[in-house]
Amino acid sequence: MYNKNYAKKRYKYHKTFDYSKSIFQDYPDELVKIRGNSKKINFKTEYFLPVNYSKKKNFGNPQSIQIVGKYAYIMYTLKGGSNYGFVARYNLSKLKLLGVTNQGTMSIFRKATYNFKNNKTSDLDNEIMKCIKVGPTKRIGHGQSMAYNPKSKQMWFITKNKINATIQRLDMKTLKPKNKINFRLNAFTPMGANLTFDKKGNAYYYSYSSGGPIPKKTVKLYKGKITNKSVKFKIIMQGIRRAPGATAQSISYNPKNNNLYLISDSGVSRIPIKRLGKLRKKDIRTVITNQKREFEGLGFTKKGIGYLMPNKGPELMKLSNANF
């Protein structure tokens, strides 16, 4: 399906972030639409995520996000290119009550984790730190694929996205990996590096064509099922000619409007699940934003409120219109 090309080409990430100064930022960042066929939309900081935690674990490289109830689960790799990392769980409701989302005091979240790292915490810092649970460091792959299945109430992530692939389940209480499954889809379909589930328990991932019969950079979508014993996927027999950006960062699902979201750097495309395989140009909505940021993931609440997670620096930005 030949949709219009709105995407930014590959770019070097703009250095808008200074780790040493970030703990003093009390007012939100904002991203605005500069092109695309979406309705009016912007993205505004709701939570400035931590950038420090301990000498062995830093929060500077988030890769994927899932929002389940009052919690945000974020998967981090130790550094760029590492296959090792951990999951942190944030109690967003309690953090909000402590003032981390209020303009004028938004820095207190990052200050608390900075002070914790340097053993100089106040009573407020300690209350904020109680809202964070950090799991053990394990092999997690690239980290882009952590996804929650609302039907089975299970969290899964891909640790190896090749022809011979591996998926693991995450214990949502201990934040430890469990239930490893080794699988092979077929000789022509390597497992993708991103993953999401809809409310019926169907799993989805996407990748870009490398060329050949399918034009280069065409979006290829896959649908399947993941159980405790098996993984099965089939390609959806309709591609999308134009992706929202040069890099396939992640895929997400909004339970309120039953749409999939393809996330790339600086851009997001929205696709209705009911139209998969028979998409029309008007079905695909795309927004391209005004900054050269790295978009890592997009999490949705049950009510359909969307939170974009850009990196450099890491934060959760609320979508003004998640149904764009």
Does 17 score more than 70 pLDDT? no
289-292 contacts at long range (C-beta below 8 A, 24 or more positions apart) = 289/31, 289/32, 289/33, 289/34, 289/43, 290/31, 290/32, 290/33, 290/34, 291/14, 291/16, 291/31, 291/266, 292/8, 292/11, 292/12, 292/13, 292/14, 292/265, 292/266
Per-residue pLDDT of 166-225, as tens digits, reads 999 999 999 999 999 999 988 677 899 999 999 999 999 999 988 888 888 899 999 999
Which amino acid would we find at residue 46?
E
* Tokens 């997009």, located at residue: 298
Q: 203 Cβ partners below 8 Å, 6+ apart?
A: 147, 149, 195, 196, 197, 223, 224, 225, 226, 233
Give the range among 13-22, 99-108, 218-227, 285-294 with minimum mean pLDDT.
Answer: 13-22
- pLDDT-derived band at 10 (thresholds 50, 70, 90) equals low
pLDDT score at 216: 87
Does 316 score more than 90 pLDDT? yes
- pLDDT-derived band at 94 (thresholds 50, 70, 90) equals very high
Instruction: Provide the sign of the torsion angle of the four alpha carbons 310, 316, 322, 324, taken in this order.
Output: negative
Give the count of beta carbons closer than 10 Å to the beta carbon of residue 90: 23
Q: 177 Cβ partners below 8 Å, 6+ apart?
A: 138, 140, 157, 159, 168, 169, 170, 171
Average pLDDT, the chain: 92
Task: Give mean pLDDT, residues 72-87.
Answer: 93
Q: Given phi > 0 = left and psi -120 to 50 = alpha, else beta, which region is 285? A: beta
Task: Give mean pLDDT, residues 97-102.
Answer: 98
Task: Give mean pLDDT, residues 135-140.
Answer: 96
High-pLDDT (> 90) share of the chain, %: 75
Does 96 score more than 80 pLDDT? yes
pLDDT score at 221: 96
Task: Measure the CA–CA gap between 252 and 66, rounded to whole angstroms.
Answer: 9
pLDDT score at 135: 97
Task: Give mean pLDDT, residues 266-293.
Answer: 94
Task: Give mean pLDDT, residues 104-108.
Answer: 96
Task: Give mean pLDDT, residues 286-314.
Answer: 94
